[in-house]
A = this chain, B = another copy of it.
Amino acid sequence: MAANSRFAIAVHTLGVLAFVGDKPVSSGLIAKSVGTNPVVIRRIMRKLVKHGLVEVRMGTGGGSRLTKPPSEISLAAIYESLEEEDVFEVPALGEDHCCPIGRSVRPVLEEVLAAAQNEMRAYLGKISLENVMDSVNAAIVVGKSR
């Protein structure tokens, strides 16, 4: 995964859908709320549809809608849907590499780094879209919107 705004955009997008409720929302409208281009939203939406978080209707009055209540959508599910690369990358070395350390470090590192990322994912699994939106709504009501 690159230094990446896609995850934030995805959560924001689903947040808008959750906020609006049952009515389909167009990618153009979401793009305005997120501050980007409709195509960017649709690119992300494609993956969310593929993973069953969202359904899309084409044509007039169409747009996107959540397939389940926000309480049943965890941030981990959103993260997984985006199919990002790993945060860390362990460069390959070639099998005939001279240094024994070089050859052995790689699998060890991969294991450790994967475990570290799993910790992060586990945390995201504990937070639902509903949790996020509760905080957002609270901020709106209190007027802390800046």
Contacts and interface: CB of A to CB of B under 8 A. Distances in A.
Contact of A3 (B89, B94, B116, B127): B89
A103 to B, nearest CB: 4
A100 B2 contact: no
A7 B90 CA distance: 8
Q: For this complex, into which size category does the number of interface residues on chain A fall?
A: 35 or more
Contacts of A9: 91
A7 B95 CA distance: 21
Contacts of A127: 112
Interface string A65-99: 00000000001000000000111111101110111
A104 interface: yes
A144 B135 CA distance: 50
A19 B123 CA distance: 35
Contacts of A119: 119-120, 122-123
B36 A91 contact: yes
A92 to B, nearest CB: 8
A102 B34 contact: yes
Given A34-B102, A116-B124, A109 B8 contact: yes
Given A7-B113, A105-B132, A112-B127, 5 more contacts: A4-B89, A12-B102, A75-B112, A87-B87, A116-B123
